[in-house]
Amino acid sequence: MDVRTLYEAKLTTADKAVQAIDSNSDLAMGMAVAEPPAILAAIARRAEAGTLTELRVWYLLSQVHAGSTIFRRELLGPIRPQCLFMSGVERALIKADPAAEALIDFVPTAFSGSPRVMRDEVGMDACVLTVSPMDADGYFSFGVANDYTSVVAHSARTVIVEVNPAMPRVACPAPLHVSQVSAIVENHVALLSFGEADAAPEDEAIATLIAEMIDDGACLQMGIGNLPGAVCRRIANRRDMGIHTELLTPPLARLAQQGAVTNRFKTTETSLSVYSFAMGDEPFYRWMDGNPHVYSMPVDVVNDPAVIARNDKVVSVNATIQVDLQGACNSEFMGGHQHSAAGGQVDFVRGAYGSKGGLSVIACRSTARGGTVSRIVPKLDGPVTTPRNDVHWIVTEHGAANLRGKTLRERAELLIGLADPRFRDELAKVL
């Protein structure tokens, strides 16, 4: 059977496709922009009808499609979120009803470990995701979300894809063949779009400090948020930089479009901007589509510290919520609740430091809650995301400090210097 005939044989409606999903089973959902809206809506209808119960949904970084369908408050119970990275969807559920927190199972895992957890430790019965249209050889591209999704899609018993022409086609090591798919649903809708907000004055000051650390030939990893965009705007005049990042964004794409990124000095995937998942807007997705210089890979490869360190001059930039006076960072817990997750922060902190000439930067504004709370603290309010042993550079709007090779007292003194002046005397009392 040729691939087009096989495609047509598997093409069906979302409601029919999700009949293959069993109760009391484990399902992996495409991450972020790869959430399949038509399939998720059909799963929600089954849960509403009572024909699908005890469905454990594994995922990171849920977005509006999941939030408006399977993760509605009334469906928490028959559908049980197995969350590896909390987003605004889960936070809104808990804010509206604190009892919802007990119905969302958080699974602490580094982003790099998520494929192994889903494939090996648990084993996914099903996988649902959005893919690009099939090519002439019968392959679908994972587009904006290779991450854990590609690994699970190659191992799950049931794989249901939602084909969307808006999904960019991006080369990857192991695209998904139509013969590996259980059912195909077509849905022609716009991909989720994420705009860029203006950076606050504190972020602009932090970005200026970080940009001064980035030289020609640096290999970049940038996290999410306003700060990375502010950094990227300040390094557009650099030359021959590379990209090896878990998250690809419009600010990184602009560096490539401006000629600042060539990837010529990378030792892994030379000439290619490598990422694991991507979030942006429609022009950004168009830039990705068919771009021969963009390449997606599973997160257990992209975020492997040993792989990261093979490139020279890796610069990793990520954010945190709190830093204690020994240098440990809490980047995931706020207000007594899980706020996000570790993600790939530690992966890149270790990979960048292992890189020849590399450095990792963890940045935060010095205060929170309108300047009433210091982010430099004697003791963290939550778990340690990045241990003190791994932290390299800490940057606030008040300066930058390299903590490597420093004693505990030297670290505390440096970090107090990065705190807002209003809190420095109080922090100094704990020395």
Q: Which residues are catalytic?
A: 246
Residues 337 and 381: beta-carbon distance below 8 Å: no
The angle formed by the CA atoms of residues 220, 226 and 232, to the nearest 5 degrees, is: 35
Check the CA dihedral 27-123-111-148 and report its sign.
negative
